[in-house]
Amino acid sequence: MPRPLNSNVPAFNLAISTLLRNPSLLVPNYTIPTFLQLPEDNLGSHLIPPSYFSSPSGNAKKHHFPPKIRALVIDKDNTLTPPESRIIPPAYMQKLKSLRTKPSSPFNMHKNPHGILIVSNTAGSDPNMPLYEEEAKHLESILSHLGIPVFRSGVPLKAVAPGQTTEAPPKHHPLKKPFSFPSILAHLRAQNAIDSPDEVAVVGDRLGTDVIMAGLMGSWSIWTQKGVTVGVEGDDEGREGMDFRGTLAKWEVRLERYLRRRGVAPAMPKGWEGGF
Ligand SMILES: [Mg+2]
């Protein structure tokens, strides 16, 4: 079945204007090759760059160190599955299982039932697209034993007062990453998963959507730089060393390196700016 074009032009435009105005938002707080390397213990301490401790004293939350991460917002395409696939490779599934069932994990499903949320720009991103809704349901069914839901983006239709006419029927505008962050935060707050945005880490493979969104949210960003590196379908099933990154994602790798060389530091959540 041909998939709808998902070019996400508004996100691209935002990435370019951010690059010019606030490049810090494009630099991740922490980089890992793939989701498999996500630290299961002391995640918060990995999010603080070593330089933080040598910089002049700021208004850092000294007494709260390391940051306490209570919720993970995880991307789907090329973070948990190869892009446009519904199949989570076994090792990635095992990683989710470990995060959800290890007694010491802060995301243990019994201690923290709403601690993991999948937020995709395909699955669950548009209730008007049956394919995306079906994908979200499929993911939730294969992850139901781990209690991991897929975020549904979408603004409820506005009621029109009796007698009032509109030029066109009110349109449904579901927002995609990075613009959907207010509703993601509201969702996590409503479930008592978090009290403040600096308790969230966004995990994803793209600077222009996942990393920027973490910065806009006032949360932490974890960049899965290589995406998913194992095949799941056809002759590639189980094959290691795959690279599913597209042109934009590869360009982002060079951009990130360039920004770091120029001394651009990652954006820090509110209250964590400055050093100790
Ligand atoms: Mg992705």
Q: What is the pLDDT of residues 15-26, one digit of tens each?
A: 888 888 899 999
Q: What mean pLDDT is reported for the chain?
A: 88
Task: Output the pLDDT for position 157.
Answer: 42
Task: Output the pLDDT for position 11.
Answer: 87
Topology annotation, domain 23-40+63-153+173-261? Rossmann fold (3.40.50)
Residue 66 CA to ligand 1 centre (angstroms): 27
Residue 76 CA to ligand 1 centre (angstroms): 6
Select the more confidently predicted residue: 129 or 70. 70
Residue 253 CA to ligand 1 centre (angstroms): 14
Task: Output the pLDDT for position 250.
Answer: 95
Residue 102 CA to ligand 1 centre (angstroms): 26
Question: Would you give the distance in Å from CA 18 to the centre of its chain?
Answer: 18
Q: Against a cut of 0.75, is the pTM above it?
A: yes
40 CB-near residues (< 8 Å, 6+ apart):
98, 99, 102, 104, 105
Judge contact between 236 and 7, C-beta under 8 A.
no
Burial 10-47 (b: 16+ CB within 10 A, else e): ebeebbeebbeeebebbbbbbbbebbeebeeeebbebb
Q: What is the pLDDT of residues 134-168, one digit of tens each?
A: 999 999 999 999 999 999 987 454 444 555 544 44
* Closest to 180 in 3D by CA, of 70, 266, 73: 73
DSSP E strand boundaries for the chain: 30-32, 71-74, 116-118, 200-204, 220-224
Residue 263 CA to ligand 1 centre (angstroms): 26
For residue 96, pLDDT over 50 is answered with: yes
Residue 62 CA to ligand 1 centre (angstroms): 33
Judge contact between 51 and 265, C-beta under 8 A.
yes
Residue position matching structure tokens 């993911």:
139
Q: How would residue 173 be classed by pLDDT, with cut points 50, 70 and 90?
A: low
Q: What is the pLDDT of residues 225-259, one digit of tens each?
A: 999 999 999 999 999 999 999 999 999 999 999 99
Taking CA atoms, 219 is separated from 63, 67, 96, 234, in Å, by: 18, 10, 21, 38
